[in-house]
A and B are shown apart, each in its own frame.
Chain A
Amino acid sequence: MAAVSMRLPVARKAVVPSAPRGGEKHLVAPGDTITTDTGYMRGHGTYVEEEKLIASVAGAVERVNKLVCVRALKTRYNGEVGDIVVGRITEVQQKRWKVETNSRLDSVLLLSSMNLPGGELRRRSAEDELAMRDYLQEGDLISAEVQSVFSDGAVSLHTRSLKYGKLGQGVLVQVPPSLVKRQKTHFHDLPCGASVILGNNGFIWIYPTPEQKDEEAGGFITNLEPVPLSDREVISRLRNCIVALVNQKLMLFDTSILYCYEASLPHQIKDILKPEVMEEIVLETRQRLLDLEG
């Protein structure tokens, strides 16, 4: 039976912030004056006009001694060493792959930063270079860690651990990078039955939990068997929950996603994306998170 739901648009309600934690943040919009004091050095996101320091992006003002900068709320991903990212291969070049990570420049994955099958350590030969496309092609998804950042801001990735590598079957959700909370680990096996990788660059990968955990192949063997329906339901529900959390501008981390999943259980999976259901679920999640803190 076909289900078509149409409705009239409703003006978005402003999300009321919960009790401010850690002091008030000074939020500015482009064109707002930050300060008229000329003693400050201007950092990123600001410019000087008529002796006033004006913000050029929308975000929070950060002050470090004499340096004033504005950290934008919605930007492209700015790489930092040690971040976990999920990226998509866009090009296969001579000794490296170009990876799209939602940043200003394509990231780079050098052949020498990639694990070889079986974890062997040897110098990469010409045969390895010719076999690059056999392993990673255009369109493939990988999980990797940021090794270094070039001077122009481009990020260099590495997959030098067996937990990184090519990703198999699953669902990718793209969210603004500033909504992904920085945590100790970004690989989570959720108790509801699926696993999730929260990339710092805003790419979230949801996949069915692999059965054998002892041998991690590093992504060289892709499991092409059909995923069972029960796992699919969990993955679809998680995906919709993440979309709901992003819509209501809540930070994404394993606890918030789990609480949102539990709050969404009474509803059907496809109903989670309806505006009123989204609000209700996220409100409940927010309440539970506040209770957890307080």
Chain B
Amino acid sequence: MASVVLSEAEKLYIVHGVQEDLRVDGRGCEDYRCAEVETDVVSNTSGSARVKLGHTDILVGVKAEMGTPKLEKPDEGYLEFFVDCSANATPEFEGRGGEELGAEIANTLYRVFSSESSVDLKSLCINPREHCWILYVDVLLLECGGNLFDAISIAVKAALFNTRIPKVQVSEDEEGSKEIELSDDPYDCIRLNVDDVPCIVTLSKIGYRHVVDATLQEEACSLASLLISVTSKGSLTSLKKVGKGSLDPESIFEMMETGKRVGKSLHIALQKVLDEEESLGSSRQKVGFLG
């Protein structure tokens, strides 16, 4: 992960600040930085989103392709995640430097979405055992400014909200072979229900307290973090501890409660922005990358 080097006095200043609930940029321990969310930024995908959380910039594209369902789940489609840590984000990602981090993030996303209730996979099925929709979710890290997991999960949820899967009609031939027809109308498509898609909340332990949405400097002061994926209703789908420090079971419970609370606010805020964008429709001035 991209990291900054800090002097001992700077770290001490940050730790004492967190203790008094006043972080370096004036936020409280449970405040997020101002986030910008935009969907439908990449034209040749089924759905895309871009999220800017402070200095962290994430681009997610979702492509829906037809394929065969998995053997153990013949009447469901599935999601495939791939994370690319671009060298634009930080020189450490040059060449193959970003592969390890990319694999870690992808595995975390698989875990977060492993719960059956996150995405309605049965709606992605076309013909049981033969055809289904596979959603390839590609995440691109454009800039690393701390708190990658949260930003990525927000972007994935926004991209899934924006995904439009074309409607298909299955017709049977005389010989019994099935023919699949895509409707001609590009606006005739099905949308995914993202109400239960979880978002990751990272809680970093700094000193005796924990903070949400840590910047790179705060991440350098924290020895252990807890990644919690929370749905909009407040239920947890996965829990992961990262970092070389240790966490007390008491503090894990506290962090979980904080995570649930913050997660609910996160979902409400995100849904509000997504609904606002939807209601503006085509009259919205697209900002994209040159804004």
Interface residues, chain A, with chain B CB atoms under 8 Å away: 1-12, 88, 90, 138-141, 167-172, 222, 224, 226-227, 229, 232-233, 236-237, 239-240, 243, 268-270, 272-275
Is there an interface contact between B31 and A11, defined as CB atoms closer than 8 Å?
no
Is there an interface contact between B7 and A139, defined as CB atoms closer than 8 Å?
yes
Is there an interface contact between A9 and B291, defined as CB atoms closer than 8 Å?
yes
- Which of A10, A224, A233, A269 touches B291 (beta carbons < 8 Å)? A10
Is there an interface contact between A270 and B13, defined as CB atoms closer than 8 Å?
no
Is there an interface contact between B36 and A4, defined as CB atoms closer than 8 Å?
no
| Nearest A residue to B201, CB-CB | A2
Give residues 14-53 of B contacting A (CB, 8 Å). 16-17, 19-20, 22-28, 30-38, 52
- Which of A1, A172, A237, A275 touches B26 (beta carbons < 8 Å)? A237
Q: A11-B287, A233-B22 are in contact. Are A171 and B13 (CB under 8 A)?
A: yes
When distances are taken between beta carbons in the complex, the residues of chain A under 8 Å from B285 are 11
Q: A167-B9, A233-B22 are in contact. Are A273 and B30 (CB under 8 A)?
A: no
Is there an interface contact between A171 and B6, defined as CB atoms closer than 8 Å?
no
Q: A6-B272, A8-B38 are in contact. Are A170 and B10 (CB under 8 A)?
A: yes
The proximity string for B residues 136-171 relative to A, scoring 1 for CB distances below 8 Å and 0 otherwise, is 000000000000000000000000000000000000
Known A4-B35, A6-B36, A140-B8; further 9 A-B contacts with Cβ < 8 A: A3-B265, A4-B266, A8-B37, A8-B287, A167-B9, A227-B16, A236-B23, A269-B22, A275-B34
Is there an interface contact between B36 and A224, defined as CB atoms closer than 8 Å?
no
| Nearest B residue to A237, CB-CB | B26
Q: Closest 8 CB pairs between A and B?
A: A269-B26, A270-B26, A2-B30, A169-B13, A11-B291, A236-B26, A4-B269, A139-B5
Is there an interface contact between A227 and B212, defined as CB atoms closer than 8 Å?
no
- Which of B22, B23, B32 touches A229 (beta carbons < 8 Å)? B22
- Which of B9, B25, B30 touches A1 (beta carbons < 8 Å)? B30
Is there an interface contact between B34 and A5, defined as CB atoms closer than 8 Å?
yes
Is there an interface contact between A273 and B5, defined as CB atoms closer than 8 Å?
no
- Which of B34, B212, B265, B284 touches A273 (beta carbons < 8 Å)? B34
Give residues 248-264 of B contacting A (CB, 8 Å). 261-262
Q: A232-B20, A270-B27, A272-B26 are in contact. Are A2 and B291 (CB under 8 A)?
A: no
Interface residues, chain B, with chain A CB atoms under 8 Å away: 5-10, 12-13, 16-17, 19-20, 22-28, 30-38, 52, 212, 261-262, 265-266, 268-270, 272-273, 276-277, 284-285, 287, 291
Min CB distance A80 to B, Å, is 26
| Nearest A residue to B274, CB-CB | A6
Q: A4-B265, A8-B273, A236-B24 are in contact. Are A141 and B34 (CB under 8 A)?
A: no
When distances are taken between beta carbons in the complex, the residues of chain A under 8 Å from B273 are 6-8
Min CB distance A95 to B, Å, is 22
Min CB distance A264 to B, Å, is 10
| Nearest B residue to A233, CB-CB | B22
Which of A2, A227, A229 has the most chain B CB within a 10 Å cutoff? A2
Is there an interface contact between B291 and A5, defined as CB atoms closer than 8 Å?
no
| Nearest A residue to B270, CB-CB | A6
Is there an interface contact between A240 and B9, defined as CB atoms closer than 8 Å?
no
Is there an interface contact between A270 and B31, defined as CB atoms closer than 8 Å?
yes
| Nearest B residue to A205, CB-CB | B10
Is there an interface contact between B265 and A172, defined as CB atoms closer than 8 Å?
no
Min CB distance A156 to B, Å, is 22
When distances are taken between beta carbons in the complex, the residues of chain B under 8 Å from A268 are 26
Is there an interface contact between A168 and B33, defined as CB atoms closer than 8 Å?
no
When distances are taken between beta carbons in the complex, the residues of chain A under 8 Å from B13 are 169-171, 227
Q: A2-B30, A6-B37, A7-B36 are in contact. Are A224 and B287 (CB under 8 A)?
A: no
How far apart sit A2 and B266, CA to CA, in the bound complex (Å)? 9
When distances are taken between beta carbons in the complex, the residues of chain B under 8 Å from A232 are 17, 20, 22
Min CB distance A150 to B, Å, is 24
How far apart sit A171 and B30, CA to CA, in the bound complex (Å)? 21
| Nearest B residue to A269, CB-CB | B26
How far apart sit A140 and B11, CA to CA, in the bound complex (Å)? 11
Min CB distance B134 to A, Å, is 29
Min CB distance B237 to A, Å, is 19
When distances are taken between beta carbons in the complex, the residues of chain A under 8 Å from B284 are 8
Q: A2-B265, A10-B291 are in contact. Are A229 and B36 (CB under 8 A)?
A: no
Is there an interface contact between B24 and A239, defined as CB atoms closer than 8 Å?
yes
How far apart sit A226 and B9, CA to CA, in the bound complex (Å)? 10
How far apart sit A293 and B265, CA to CA, in the bound complex (Å)? 47
Which of B25, B37, B261, B270 has the most chain A CB within a 10 Å cutoff? B25
